[in-house]
Amino acid sequence: MRIFKFFLALIVLAGMLAGYALKIEPYRLVTEELELVSPYVDEGTKVAILTDIHLKEDFDEAQLEKAVKKVNEHNPEAVLFLGDLYDNYELWQGDEEKIKDIFRSLNADIKLCVYGNHDYGGKAQWAYKEIMEESGFTILKNKDFPTDFGITFYGADDYIFGEKGEGFKFDGNSYGFAMAHVPASVETISNSDFFAAGHTHGGQVRLPFIKPFWTPKGTLEYYGGMYDNPDGGKIYVSRGVGTSIMTVRFNAVPEITICKFSKKTVEN
């Protein structure tokens, strides 16, 4: 009888965990706040990071709108989108005009984006370009973007399907903020103060205290969170908002990221 109760409890627990992973966690959304320090950047400057929306039939415009509203709560000076707007554009396009309107509602002076691997292939590449540009974004394909508040942004094209470029080196006269979809792009950029990427979804499904069972091409060892960059500075990999292939997450809660700058000295 005890063995029966034990296995029954295991079945109930497994069902509850599966329900959470399929119906609850993929639709959660938290804000990760990062404190960055630089003598170059105006005090209180905020940069928001959005990535990996993966729009599809069961993760539609409403989820994008929820993420955009959460970003707007912080009134950032700049919003960065790190790619993968659709999961599979050929299968589901949604309402493209509504998607543009949602992106237009971002109340930031600067909106920059890069291509992700899901933004290439078939009609996706051209749809992504149209949607982002008509929404007020500047697409960076191996290009830099100086600002008047002390940050120089650089956007790398997608590591998997994009143009590799010749690499980029920040000049050190401003805060070097690099952005890319795939973490491996960090190897093409030097002298950055901060490198932001997505692509990994934090593993999407992972058990506590251990590394993900699987991560996509180009992850290297950077599957989610903050890391030291061997070249100097920091690497941050966002868990993103959406999911790829299956709408399921476990122990990898979707996020938006807010980087807030100060000029204070970091105490050792």
Whole-angstrom Cα distance, residue 55 to residue 98?
12
Q: What are phi and psi of 138, to 5 degrees?
A: -100, 125
Note the Cα 89 to chain centre separation in Å: 19
Q: Does residue 121 fall inside a structural domain?
A: yes
* Per-residue model confidence (pLDDT) at position 141: 97
Confidence band for 7, pLDDT divided at 50, 70 and 90: low
* Per-residue model confidence (pLDDT) at position 18: 79
Confidence band for 267, pLDDT divided at 50, 70 and 90: low
44-94: pLDDT as tens digits: 999 999 999 999 999 999 999 999 999 999 999 999 999 999 999 999 999
Average per-residue pLDDT in the chain?
Answer: 93
Whole-angstrom Cα distance, residue 125 to residue 219?
22
Residue pair 137/105 in contact by the 8 Å Cβ criterion:
no
Whole-angstrom Cα distance, residue 53 to residue 59?
9
Q: Does residue 159 fall inside a structural domain?
A: yes
Q: Does residue 39 fall inside a structural domain?
A: yes
* Per-residue model confidence (pLDDT) at position 239: 98
Quote the number of domains for the chain: 1
Segment 96-100 shows an average pLDDT of 98
Confidence band for 14, pLDDT divided at 50, 70 and 90: low
214-242: pLDDT as tens digits: 899 999 999 999 999 999 999 999 999 99
Q: Does residue 85 fall inside a structural domain?
A: yes
Top-confidence residue, 122 or 85: 85
Residue pair 78/108 in contact by the 8 Å Cβ criterion:
yes
* Per-residue model confidence (pLDDT) at position 195: 98
Residue pair 258/80 in contact by the 8 Å Cβ criterion:
no
* Per-residue model confidence (pLDDT) at position 187: 96
At 14, which helix (H) or strand (E)? helix 2-19
Q: Does residue 268 fall inside a structural domain?
A: no
Top-confidence residue, 208 or 174: 174
Confidence band for 95, pLDDT divided at 50, 70 and 90: very high
- Read off the CATH number of the domain in which 196 is found: 3.60.21.10
Sheet holding 46-50, edge to edge: 30-37, 255-262, 46-50, 78-81, 110-113, 138-139
Segment 111-136 shows an average pLDDT of 95
Tokens standing for residue 117: 């691997």
171-191: pLDDT as tens digits: 999 999 999 999 999 999 999
125-167: pLDDT as tens digits: 999 999 999 999 999 999 999 999 999 999 999 999 999 888 8
% of the chain surpassing 70 pLDDT: 94
Q: Does residue 119 fall inside a structural domain?
A: yes
Full residue range of the structural domain in which residue 159 is found: 2-262
Tokens standing for residue 122: 């078939």
* Per-residue model confidence (pLDDT) at position 209: 83
* Per-residue model confidence (pLDDT) at position 268: 46
Residue pair 198/116 in contact by the 8 Å Cβ criterion:
yes
pLDDT of residue 4 exceeding 80: no
Q: Does residue 207 fall inside a structural domain?
A: yes
Q: Does residue 267 fall inside a structural domain?
A: no
pLDDT of residue 265 exceeding 70: no
pLDDT of residue 17 exceeding 90: no
